[in-house]
Each structure stands twice: as structure tokens, then as C-alpha cells.
Amino acid sequence: MFEHYQDLITDLQNTDLQPWADVMPEQIASGLSEQRFGDLAGWKKALYALPKVSSTFIDLKNGVFIGENGDCSPQIQQEIHDRLADLIPWRKGPFHIHGTHIDTEWRSDWKWDRVLPHILPLKNKTVLDVGCGSGYHCWRMYGEGAKRVIGIDPSPRFVVQFEMIKHFIGKVPVHVLPIPMEAVPSELNAFDTVFSMGVLYHRRSPFDHIKELRDTLKTGGQLVLETLVVDGEFGYSLVPEKRYAMMNNVWFIPTPETLAAWLKKMGFKSIELVDLNETSFEEQHQTEWMKFHSLEQFLDPNDHSKTAEGYPRPKRAVFTAIK
């Protein structure tokens, strides 16, 4: 799949992002190694088996809508559906691809609708989306006029899902790289806007993550940070003993006031809490495209105000801040 990134690496030469471009080939080879990821060969087979279709309609402004009824026959539509289904589970979306509605676990469009009114305009901006999953929000960022969007996520399944959607959109400056945040070269100072949504609570050191995000931004660039929060006094942060909502890699869940202080301590200004939302069963749920346990199973069956472990039910905050 390295050929999918050749245009990106070429375009980044002689730019602020060249230090990253120089190490991308090695990072991509490691992140998409079939020796490391045994299922990757099957996922790639599904990707390369997708029919070639000209998409006469693409709307990334109001969602991710690709294709009209006349673009392909019912038989080709079924083939598209079946190949996309080979990559189940699909977690972030939804996507509408030539008659197939990928009803993902998360209604990521709802999160985008909450975030969009509070961010600086993305038109002609260079954007980084950290922990982007299958790239749903990357497409929405591009739909807002971003000049270039780079998403990163270490899961090769998500990367292949992204490439499946891009197969129908075509050659555009939107890419998802198979790497974690810590693999991004330090102090790039290159992005106008950086998104980190649903990542902070998975980091053992929230301060290190915030610093990594800050160091990717240009001076004056905007951070958009979405994460789990809890109610409580200033300075308080929940540290789950083992799991939180059945997740075993949750480390720190601060109060909004505490998180604002963390951002200030790491050198950000104009820090604003722009949204606070309790996750609903409608926003995170089981579907035909994600058949495993979801939010309803992660909560106390007798008291939906608590997680299965007895902690407060997931609540998410969105902060914006300027470097």
C-alpha cells in the first residue's frame, strides 16, 4: 500500500513537514507490516477488489455521501456493499457509498456538528487529526475547505477502511497514516489546526500528549481537544482502578476546570470549553456494521447513570485553545 502515500511524501518535500516526510516510508512499512498484522492481507484483498466506479456526486460538506444511483448497476452496488462489509466492524461514520449506508457504531457526524461552530475556519489550512480512526472527520475537514488533511491512527484496519472510502473519492490531499502520535517528529510547528478527539484519556501522561499536540502546531494555530470528563472540584481527575466503561486503557479523566488548567500550564491561551455532552445510546450503539458490545453494555444495567464498574457515565467535553 506504499504507493497510496507517494504523492503525499512528494508534496511535503521542501515544506515545514519535510522532516516527517523523510521518515514516512519507514513508518508506513512498519505500520502496514503483514508480519505484524496477520489480518492485513485479507483487508487489503477486499480493498483491491472494490469495483472501479466513477462517482458523479460527492458531498463532504454535509456528511460523507458518494455516488448516485446511475453510477453503477445493482450488481456492482452489491459488490461494493460486500467488500465494505469485509472490514466490519466500522466504528466511526456514517458513510453513504453508492447505495450502501455504513451505519457505524458512532454517529461521528453528531460530534462534528457540535465541534464545527467553534473552530477557526479550515479553508486553505493544513490540518492534523490525531487518532482519526477510519478518517470520517478527515473527510469533513476537507469538506470545509482544508488544503491538506493528515490523519494518524495505528490501527491498520482503520487505515484500510479509510482507503476504501478514498477509492471512490479519488486523488485528493487527504491521507491517514498508520502511526501513533508519539511517532510524529517533535517540534514540527507546521499545522494550522490540530484535532485530538477521543485520545487524551488513553494516554498514560496527559501532559506529554498535550505537549506533543502543541509542538505540531504553528504559533497561533488552534487545538481542538475532545475527551472524557467528570464532575468534581478543581484539580480532581478520576483514575479508574482497572477498567472504565469496559475499556482497559483509560488513565486520567479530569474535570473540565482541571483540563483547562492543564492546557494553560502547557502554554495554551484563549482556552474555551465549547461543548459538554453526555454520550447517548443513539450516538454510540450496536449496528449491523458494528455487532460487538457498545455503550449500552458498558453501563450498569440497573443504573444507566453509572458505568459497569460504578463510575460516572461517559461525558465528553470539547475544548479549543491557541498556541
149 SS3 class: strand
125 SS3 class: coil
- Residues 184, 186, 190, 193, Cα dihedral to 10°: 70
- 98 and 71 Cβ atoms separated by less than 8 Å: yes
Contacts of 36 (CB under 8 A, 6+ apart): 30
As a whole number of angstroms, the distance between CA 123 and CA 149 comes to: 11
- DSSP-assigned states of every residue in 44-108: HHHHHTSPP---S-EE-SSS-EE--GGGS-HHHHHHHHHHHHTT----EE-EEETTEEE--SEEH
Q: 113 to each of 137, 138, 269, 318, how far by Cα in Å?
A: 11, 14, 24, 12
Residue of 310, 224, 229, 230 lying closest to 268 (CA atoms): 224
Per-residue pLDDT 10s for the chain (323 aa) are 778 899 999 999 999 999 999 999 999 999 999 999 999 999 999 999 999 999 999 999 999 999 998 899 999 999 999 999 999 999 999 999 999 999 999 999 999 999 999 999 999 999 999 999 999 999 999 999 999 999 999 999 999 999 999 999 999 999 999 999 999 999 999 999 999 999 999 999 999 999 999 999 999 999 999 999 999 999 999 999 999 999 999 999 999 999 999 999 999 999 999 999 999 999 999 999 999 999 999 999 999 999 999 999 999 999 999 99
Beta-ladder partners of 127: 149, 193
Q: Which amino acid belongs to residue 100? A: T
Q: How many CA atoms lie within 13 A of 174 on its CB side?
A: 28
CATH topology of domain 2-322: Rossmann fold (3.40.50)
pTM: predicted TM-score of the whole model, two decimal places? 0.96
176 SS3 class: strand
H-helix or E-strand spanning residue 319:
strand 315-322
287 SS3 class: strand
- What is the number of residues in the chain? 323
H-helix or E-strand spanning residue 23:
helix 18-31
As a whole number of angstroms, the distance between CA 178 and CA 24 comes to: 10
106-107 and 100-102 as β-strands: parallel, antiparallel, unpaired? unpaired
